[in-house]
Amino acid sequence: MSRVVRDSIQILQAQGYKVTKPRRQVLEVLEEVQRPLSPYDIQRLLRQEGKYLNHVTIYRILDLFCCLNLAHKVLSSGGFVKCSLEGKGGCHRLMVCRCCGALQEFASEGLCQEENELAQNSGFHTEYHLSESSGVCSDCYKKQ
Amino acid sequence: MSRVVRDSIQILQAQGYKVTKPRRQVLEVLEEVQRPLSPYDIQRLLRQEGKYLNHVTIYRILDLFCCLNLAHKVLSSGGFVKCSLEGKGGCHRLMVCRCCGALQEFASEGLCQEENELAQNSGFHTEYHLSESSGVCSDCYKKQ
DNA sequence: TCATAATTGCAATAATGTTGCATTTAACAT
DNA sequence: ATGTTAAATGCAACATTATTGCAATTATGA
Ligand SMILES: [Mn+2]
Ligand SMILES: [Mn+2]
Ligand SMILES: [Zn+2]
Ligand SMILES: [Zn+2]
């Protein structure tokens, strides 16, 4: 079991949520594939491993995970809402490879500050932000 | 008719697309409300004005507008894909007010460059990026 | 092992997206 | 103006995604 999954389970417990089989399974599959997955993607992947989860359950689990910052939503190619495991705390700078779908996450205090300042210049009070880049990852770039 | 709408119509013509009533109506409503709208949002708004457009038509029109950069998709509160008229060319830095849904767009060469550099450090080749901030606009901030 | 509240699954329904084809319409030539 | 034609729209049918209420199940702590 990976570190991220173990941490997530601990957070669930600490907050008084049950550590159920469905919740573990969703965590595992998100960690396994390392790219954004929609609720139905998750259902399909689990089914391939012979595990069945009702889609409603998956929706509710993902809602909870987002609430607890164990996962978050990203805008992916095609515009669908996907979820991926949270990497570093609070960061939402993502790079999605348009070839293989791989997702990388990185943090930048500098960028955050600059963005906030620019927003404030027009009177906007930022509470949260998300930045997504679409492009080609290093692996896919080599293969071309 | 606003400047943005006029420009958009000209682009349609220049590229050999027909300037139809449905296309004009979608342009107008997007310009009117100044916030992101889903295809069905647009249908509902137009219906309120006594105008009827089939949802399939709206999907096709929005696809075209995105292609021509007359509109683009944003990740809005709740995760739905919305569209708004394109402001300045190529820019995709958005601020969405979580109170009133108002959307502002701004450009920043500096931010773009910095983001690209950071991405390249991990071997990622950026082709396109989107940055969205959620928060409170100046109007809503005053009212609180 | 038992009690209990939290969680899940199920059924029904709603909302959103997609495709093929008949009908209409904007643009252009007469 | 009128007719011609390709492009665009509307319609029907269908597929996928999302939400809600309630009964059955399960993780937790006593
Ligand atoms: Mn993140
Ligand atoms: Mn833009
Ligand atoms: Zn890749
Ligand atoms: Zn506002």
| pLDDT mean over A53-70 | 92
The B 26-45 residues near strand D by Cβ under 7 Å are none
CA distance B134 to chain A (A): 5
- Read out DSSP for A35-95? S-B-HHHHHHHHHHTT----HHHHHHHHHHHHHTTSEEEEE-TTS-EEEEE--STT--EEE
Strand D reaches within 7 A of the B52 CB: yes
Give pLDDT, residue A78. Answer: 39
pTM: 0.80
Residue A57 — very low, low, confident or very high, per pLDDT cuts 50/70/90? very high
The A 27-56 residues near strand D by Cβ under 7 Å are 38-40, 55-56
Smallest Cα–Cα separation from A34: which of A93, A91, A83? A83
Please name the amino acid found at residue A81: V
As a whole number, the mean pLDDT across chain B is 83
CA-based torsion, B58, B45, B71, B15: positive or negative = positive
With beta carbons under 8 A apart, name residues in chain A contacting B80: 81
Q: What count of other Cβ atoms lies within 10 Å of the Cβ of residue A29? A: 22
CA distance B39 to chain A (A): 13
As a whole number, the mean pLDDT across chain A is 83
Phi-psi bin for B131: left (phi > 0), alpha (psi -120 to 50), beta?
Answer: beta
* Spatial distance from the CA of A127 to the C1' of C4 (Å): 39
| pLDDT mean over B128-143 | 84
Q: Does A109 touch chain B (CB under 8 A)?
A: no
User: What residue ranges define each of the domains in chain A, with the CATH number in brackets?
Assistant: 3-82 (1.10.10.10), 91-143 (3.30.1490.190)
Smallest Cα–Cα separation from B129: which of A9, A113, A94? A94
CA–CA separation, A62 and A84 (whole Å): 10
Q: Which of A46-55, A121-130, B134-143 has the highest mean pLDDT?
A: A46-55
| pLDDT mean over A42-51 | 95
With residue A31 as reference, give the H or E element that holds it: helix A21-33
| pLDDT mean over A54-69 | 92
Angle between helices A39-48 and A55-67 (to 10 degrees): 120
CA–CA separation, B99 and B83 (whole Å): 18
Q: Which residue is nearest to nucleotide D17 (CA to C1')?
A: A40
Give pLDDT, residue A79. Answer: 36
Give pLDDT, residue A50. Answer: 96
| pLDDT mean over A90-115 | 77
* Spatial distance from the CA of A18 to the C1' of D28 (Å): 8
Q: Does A143 touch chain B (CB under 8 A)?
A: no
User: For B64-115, what is each residue's pLDDT tens digit?
Assistant: 998 888 887 775 544 334 455 554 445 567 888 877 777 777 778 888 888 8
